[in-house]
Structure 1
Amino acid sequence: MNLDIILIIITLIALIIASITDFKKREIPDFLSYSLLSTVIFIKILQAIIERSFTPIIYGLIGFTVFFAIALFMYYTKQWGGGDSKVLMSLGIVFSEYPKTLLNYFTPNLNIPILASLFINILLLGSFYGIFYSMFLAIKNRKTFIEELKKVKSKNTRHYLISALIILALSFLIKEPKQRLLILFLAFILLISPYLITYIKIIEKSCMIKKIKTNKLTEGDWINQDIKSKDKTIYSKKSLGVTIEQIQKIKKLNLKYVIVKEGIPFIPSFLLAFIVTLIYGNILLFFL
């Protein structure tokens, strides 16, 4: 079997398993993420040996480096957890080149590097996925969601409206229909931005902050409170996630419960982007 196909199948299986565990436990096992990373590296090296070329290794290294930088940024800004970041690094290697074998089956848009297409697809599909998932959370926790919604005061959205109107006016100067459509879409995003930001904050307060038993803590959990012992800080809520060592110290304090902030299981959006990128390439350019 072609190495490209093997690489795609292994990655697809890993993403499906990771999506299931992300939904159920809100975490991706280190064993899974490290196994995927080591496997894709091995396949790229094997590919280089068979082809007698350093190209697969060089491209793989470039893909890994680019997505490693993005993963670090997303992790340290608390957008993604450690598991998400590790999986992204593997995808950087997988999508360092588009699998040529798949061109016999699909006609993706490859006008821009496939690595960029994957990241754009992750952002686009991740945004839609995040909105729908947060709607699910709002319905599931509708009582607390409505209570938080009542507390929200109307904010001044004048600057968003003015910006949207300016962009709308500029769109009439553009003759190309597709470009005008993009400008109108940008104006729409600006109009809904203040409401979307408010909605996200309400979802976070009402649906994503939970009280859990201390013995349920796992490595990487975002504890939403400072924990101290005799004026010594064991855990700061500004931290990037609790460590195993900190969990052990917290358990010794005999705390029954801690407040944690749950993240949205984001790996399913990686899975969607993976499939869409293989079939269509850049989804934004494909439909324009």
Structure 2
Amino acid sequence: MIVMIEWILAAIGIAGFGLAGYWDLKSTEFPDWLPYSMIILALAVRSVFAWLSSDWGILTSSILVGVAFLAVGLAMYFARQWGDGDAWLLGALGFLFPNPSGFAYFGFFPFPVAMLFNFFLVAFIYIIAYSVVLSLTRPDVYRGFIRSFRREYKGAVMLVGGTTAAYLIFLVTMFLSFRLAPPSPLLAASFPALIAFIVVFSRYGMYIEKNLFKRRIPVSRLRAGDVPVGGKWRVLRPAEVKALKRRGGHVWIKEGVRFAPVFVIALVVTLLFGDVFSLLLGFV
């Protein structure tokens, strides 16, 4: 019975997140009802199986993890990192899959923690690929970033050097005090390069967000779902679009990363490979 419920939930997740990704890539938005429907279906399916098996943990685990994921998503929304739709999609991920019941799971960390890590890892790789491909269409933006980064080069070197020194001190302290060595020497040795990459890419991300991920359009071309520059990341409702069109003029809108495809990719990665973090560190 547990295997059956997980396959039903997997079908709901892959179909729902797949549709969200498709609509996001096609029109930069997906309907609000989609993540709400996924959450309702997750709770309905889990309620039925909880009643049939007399195990209400099937439902309570979904509620606890789903609310926690939704809280993380809404926190990122209020921090202006993504839209409210993405926050509810993250919540749907938690309501659907609070545990790996019915699927083989390999990992050191609890399943919800691994799911979150896999999600952010996939998101990081996706954003890198998306940003690089997008910037290749605008060579002037790439050249502008190089000029901008030259002014911050010394600060970046100091940040990488200081972080690497702190990391080495930590490794030496752990070995001398507890005889603990890093599980992967190769990963430990690559730490400086990883930090350097993160520093450079974070600067690159801020630069392209400021110079590439926005455009000025006449209000006559504005449509519901566009995201205005400034304030929290939120889409314009039809009534707001009508009011702006009556006012006339131009408006700046955001052209952020079309992020919804990350959810279906992260779900498939987790169901197939389990805890990617543990795999990378050699724990599994």
TM class by shorter-chain length?
A: 0.7 to 0.9
Q: Using the TM superposition, name which of 177-186 and 56-65 deviates more.
A: 177-186
Secondary structure of 2:151's partner?
coil
Does the 8 A contact of 2:82 with 2:233 survive in 1?
Answer: no
Corresponding residue for 2:276?
283
Alpha-carbon deviation of 1:149? 3.7
> Does structure 1 residue 162 correspond to structure 2 residue 162?
yes
Greater RCO structure (CA 8 Å; 6+ sep) = 2
Alpha-carbon deviation of 1:220? 5.3
Corresponding residue for 2:194?
189
Corresponding residue for 2:241?
247
- Provide the rounded CA distance (Å) in 2 between the counterparts of 1:70 and 1:196: 23
Does the 8 A contact of 2:107 with 2:275 survive in 1?
Answer: yes
1:18–1:8 distance in 2 versus 1, CA, 3 Å: same
Does the 8 A contact of 1:61 with 1:93 survive in 2?
Answer: yes
- Provide the rounded CA distance (Å) in 1 between the counterparts of 2:82 and 2:142: 23
> Structure 1: which 5+ residue stretches go unaligned?
225-236
Alpha-carbon deviation of 1:153? 4.0
Corresponding residue for 1:201?
206
Q: Percent identity?
A: 23
Corresponding residue for 2:75?
73
1:135–1:281 distance in 2 versus 1, CA, 3 Å: same
- Provide the rounded CA distance (Å) in 1 between the counterparts of 2:84 and 2:204: 26
Corresponding residue for 1:109?
106
Which string of whole-angstrom CA distances, capped at 9 and with x for unpartnered residues, describes residues 100-119 of structure 1? 2x33xxxx314322111110
- Give the TM-score taking structure 1 as reference length: 0.84
Secondary structure of 2:183's partner?
helix
Alpha-carbon deviation of 1:143? 2.9
Q: What root-mean-square deviation, in Å, do the aligned CA atoms of Structure 1 and Structure 2 show? A: 2.3
Secondary structure of 1:210's partner?
strand
Does the 8 A contact of 2:122 with 2:265 survive in 1?
Answer: yes
> Does structure 1 residue 127 correspond to structure 2 residue 120?
no
- Provide the rounded CA distance (Å) in 1 between the counterparts of 2:150 and 2:187: 32
Corresponding residue for 2:258?
265
Alpha-carbon deviation of 1:166? 3.8
- Provide the rounded CA distance (Å) in 1 between the counterparts of 2:107 and 2:200: 35
- Provide the rounded CA distance (Å) in 1 between the counterparts of 2:73 and 2:24: 17
- Provide the rounded CA distance (Å) in 1 between the counterparts of 2:170 and 2:37: 50
Corresponding residue for 2:219?
214
1:167–1:152 distance in 2 versus 1, CA, 3 Å: closer
Alpha-carbon deviation of 1:222? 2.8
Q: Using the TM superposition, name which of 90-99 and 207-216 deviates more.
A: 207-216
Map 1:135-150 → 2, pairs under 5 A: 135-150=132-147
1:140–1:69 distance in 2 versus 1, CA, 3 Å: same
> Structure 2: which 5+ residue stretches go unaligned?
none
Map 1:89-104 → 2, pairs under 5 A: 89-100=91-102, 102-103=103-104
Secondary structure of 1:98's partner?
coil
Secondary structure of 1:178's partner?
coil
- Give the TM-score taking structure 2 as reference length: 0.85
How many residue pairs get matched?
270
Which string of whole-angstrom CA distances, capped at 9 and with x for unpartnered residues, describes residues 111-130 of structure 1? 32211111000111111111
- Provide the rounded CA distance (Å) in 1 between the counterparts of 2:222 and 2:232: 15
